[in-house]
Copies of this chain bind each other. A is one copy, B any other.
């Protein structure tokens, strides 16, 4: 009896598609979401993979969620595009906005895609990679729910507020990072609670503001940011740039909007693309070499480039197939045939 199932990327996508469409999500919306979860599964980034599907069903059930949202890009300026996700998932809006973002970035050097009223889909790196595939650098961020206290405080007002960045490389996967500005992901703290494991000090405080290693106490208290007052300042910047700047909710507002439905956060997303060809001042080749020399100096001393493990897992999955635990697979198949 094998405890793993080996699947192709298409099989993983099909499995998610069945579950999502069975629950009423339009084919157009389900497609990019199923694909992003399959890419996460392929890259061994499991917390954003198939195990996310049950949570997606909670989100789809949110009274404000729009299963048939059909977002269309609107021109704000020659450099800026807005797309109202109309209370569907962010990914379809991203995919449609990308078709405008890329040519604008190449024409202007910089371009913004402001996604409004979207429910959070999954990790941001699939979006970052989709932009770097066009030879552009990318910076993406969004608020979430107010689970995180600012440095020097203990009341949660900030979100876990991810920042993701990508830089295109020629003969390598792009340089990509994607991290929460909280000290740890909320899912990671929940996993510790489920497994009855203490969390490291510094991840959060209890409801009285006392530092604790008890995951349950942090989940009902407040998470903390990474990097002390600097991380807290960055998390605040994400609130502002991907919130009020583009007409989106702050994490406090998004939490109120959720009204305890436990759906994914409904927020805006700020996507910025930069064109090294236009911005590089005619030195494309030497600029490229300078970036590569930096990567070589980092990797050459044994320090890992971010996403390196993910790219190795991708290679492995591409040659050996995507391995999914039998237990998770069976659970998802049940959902697909419910």
Q: Are A155 and B293 in contact, CB atoms less than 8 angstroms apart? A: no
A195-238 CB mask vs B (1 if < 8 Å, else 0) is 00000000000000000000000000000001111111110110
Distance, CA A79 to CA B181, complexed state (A): 29
Q: Are A157 and B246 in contact, CB atoms less than 8 angstroms apart? A: no
**Chain A contact residue count (CB 8 A cutoff):** 76
Give the residues in chain B near A245, CB-CB below 8 Å.
137, 274, 276, 279-280, 287
Shortest CB–CB separation between residue A251 and chain B, in angstroms? Answer: 8
Shortest CB–CB separation between residue A93 and chain B, in angstroms? Answer: 14
Give the residues in chain B near A137, CB-CB below 8 Å.
240-241, 245
Q: Are B274 and A241 in contact, CB atoms less than 8 angstroms apart? A: yes
Q: Are A252 and B293 in contact, CB atoms less than 8 angstroms apart? A: yes
Give the residues in chain B near A152, CB-CB below 8 Å.
302-304
A5 CB-CB contact with B under 8 Å: no
Shortest CB–CB separation between residue A211 and chain B, in angstroms? Answer: 15
Residues facing B in A93-108 (CB within 8 A) are: 107-108
Chain copies in the assembled complex: 2
Q: Which has the most chain B C-beta neighbours within 10 Å: A155, A226, A301? A: A301
Of the stretches A25-33, A109-117, A330-338, the one at the interface is A109-117
Distance, CA A145 to CA B152, complexed state (A): 31
Q: Are B80 and A78 in contact, CB atoms less than 8 angstroms apart? A: no
Give the residues in chain B near A293, CB-CB below 8 Å.
250, 252
A-B contact pairs, 23 of them (CB 8 A): A76-B278, A76-B279, A79-B111, A139-B241, A150-B298, A150-B303, A153-B302, A155-B301, A157-B298, A163-B234, A167-B240, A181-B230, A226-B228, A227-B228, A227-B231, A239-B294, A240-B291, A244-B287, A245-B279, A246-B279, A249-B290, A250-B294, A253-B290
